[in-house]
Chains A and B, each alone.
Chain A
Amino acid sequence: KQEVTQIPAALSVPEGENLVLNCSFTDSAIYNLQWFRQDPGKGLTSLLLIQSSQREQTSGRLNASLDKSSGRSTLYIAASQPGDSATYLCAVKEEPGTASKLTFGTGTRLQVTL
Chain B
Amino acid sequence: SQTIHQWPATLVQPVGSPLSLECTVEGTSNPNLYWYRQAAGRGLQLLFYSVGIGQISSEVPQNLSASRPQDRQFILSSKKLLLSDSGFYLCAWRQGQNTEAFFGQGTRLTVV
Contacts and interface: CB of A to CB of B under 8 A. Distances in A.
B98 A93 contact: yes
Nearest to A44: B103
Contacts of B97: 31, 93, 98, 100
Contacts of A31: 97-98
Interface string A14-50: 0000000000000000011010100001111110010
Interface stretch (B12-20, B40-48, B69-77, B78-86): B40-48
Interface in B18-39: 32, 34
A102 B104 contact: no
Contacts, number: 58
B101 A102 contact: yes
B106 A46 contact: no
Please tell me the size bucket of the interface on B. Answer: 20 to 34
Majority SS at the chain A contact face: strand
A102 B6 CA distance: 19
B42 A106 contact: yes
B94 A100 contact: yes
Please tell me the size bucket of the interface on A. Answer: 20 to 34
B98 A41 contact: no
A105 B106 contact: no
A101 B49 contact: yes
A88 interface: no
A4 interface: yes
Nearest to B97: A100
Given A46-B101, A100-B97, 10 more contacts: A32-B98, A49-B99, A51-B98, A89-B44, A98-B97, A101-B59, A102-B101, A103-B43, A106-B41, A106-B43
